[in-house]
Amino acid sequence: MDFFLGLSSQSVAIGAMGLCYVLLFSEKLNRAVITVMLGAVLAMLGVVSQKEALAAIDFNTLSLLAGMMIIINVAERSGMFQYVAIWGAKKVRANPLGILMVLGAVTAVFSAFLDNVTTVLLIVPVSLQITQKLEVNPYPYLLMNIFASNIGGTATLIGDPPNILIGSALGLSFTDFLFHLAPVVLVIMLCLALMFAYFWGDSLKASLANRALVMNINEKDAISDFSLLYKALFVLFFVIGMFGVAEHIGLENGFIALLGAAVMLLLYTFHLPHKEGDDKVEDILNKVDWTTIFFFAGLFVIVGALETSGVLHKVGFFLAKTANGSIQKSVFLILSVSAVFSAVVDNIPFVATMIPTLKAMEESLGGREAM
């Protein structure tokens, strides 16, 4: 059926996704504007109906993202993350190489529960403060922050947006991710630590006087609000615990995240006068990355158009045929394609596109277990 200028629905959907990648790569427009506009155009042209467009939006993923953003935005105001980083540096007696390893471990653990950008923004100032006092080259520490944040984010369902997409699409639980990926992350982090020790271990030296400057930092000064710290820890442990049992009690992860966000906002503001409490809630909500939320919403519609028009089914069939039904070949093929494409395009639209594509391969690969 022709939809636009004699083109088929599949051609229009492919063109929209191609244009999406080009515009995202060019960074000329806001990414939320790109996906929402293209999604709306696809619906207006009839490539995907309005009902199908709304059904394509994964509200569980959006709820999980928004809820965790609110929780983390409140929690970081307590200073808990900076406290842990400084405390860890002092536990290794301000040894430069030891601090490098500790900051890597702290960054990886934080990234398992926070988004990578937030983690780096929290840890980098502490890293620079410590390296300045030690008078050592800060670059190994900054590189460790970057590598560890990306690696650590792989370990859990909430560590990275692609994880959230995959978990929601396949119904994987928080414990599923932790059980299968945490051991892999530990091995990779060990390899990273050995590599950094090999390349920079001999050059990271500091005088006793400079190490004493680090030891004299009072980590408690990083805590801006002890009451908020205890409240934030309570909510974080509550939410993570609920994630662990979500599949047994029939709750979606997105609902749990929003519930945790509501509890966090209540504990943060219930003791304040009405106007002050309102202002703080509005401030927190303003700091939610709404660009990412709407970017995802529009992206879901574009991918939904590719799926509805049959494009992704054809791609999945081609990949399955190329792998000749072999799970091993399929895994290698998917790994290779993912590595190449993620090096040049945003990994979020790539993952969002690949999920329904791989679902189309499910039957030829042996069903649900292979997925």
What does the domain layout of the chain look like in residue ranges? 80-222, 310-371
Task: Quote the CA–CA distance of 280 and 272 in Å, as a whole number.
Answer: 10
Bridge partners of residue 7, in order along the sequence: 4
CB 223 within 8 A of CB 229: yes
Longest dimension (CA), the chain: 77
Q: 295, 293, 297, 267: which is closest to 280 by C-alpha?
A: 267
Task: Specify the pLDDT at position 97.
Answer: 96
* Distance between CA atoms of residues 98 and 202, nearest Å: 12
Query: Is the separation of the CB atoms in 53 and 309 below 8 Å?
Result: no
Give the pLDDT confidence score for residue 3 in this predicted structure. Answer: 57
Tell which residue, 260, 284, 254, has the closest CA to residue 272.
284
- Alpha helix segments (H runs only) across the chain: 9-26, 31-45, 50-56, 59-75, 80-91, 96-111, 116-134, 139-152, 161-170, 174-200, 208-215, 226-249, 253-269, 274-286, 290-308, 311-323, 327-344, 347-361
The single-letter DSSP state of residue 57 is S
- What whole-number distance in Å separates Cα of residue 233 and Cα of residue 231? 6
Query: What is the structure's pLDDT at 6?
Result: 65
Tokens of 369: 């277990």
- What CA–CA distance (Å, rounded) separates 255 from 367? 28
The span from the CA of 35 to the CA of 331, in Å, is 29
Q: Which residues contact 129 (CB under 8 A, 6 or more apart)?
A: 217
pLDDT of 342 reads 79
Return per-residue pLDDT of the chain as tens, 371 residues: 555 566 789 999 999 999 999 999 888 999 999 999 999 999 999 999 999 999 999 999 999 999 999 999 999 999 999 999 999 999 999 999 999 999 999 999 999 988 888 899 899 999 999 999 999 999 999 999 999 999 999 999 999 999 999 998 888 889 999 999 999 999 999 999 999 999 998 899 999 999 999 999 999 999 999 999 999 999 999 999 999 999 889 999 999 999 999 999 999 999 989 899 999 999 999 999 999 999 999 999 999 999 999 898 888 888 878 877 677 888 888 888 888 887 777 788 989 988 888 887 776 666 656 66
Q: Tell me the angle at which helices 208-215 and 116-134 cross, rounded to the nearest 10 degrees.
A: 130
Strands 7-8 and 2-4: antiparallel
Beta bridge partners of 2: 8
- Whose tokens are 């892999």? That residue is 184
pLDDT of residue 367: 61
CB within 8 Å of 359: residues ≥ 6 apart: 169, 316, 371
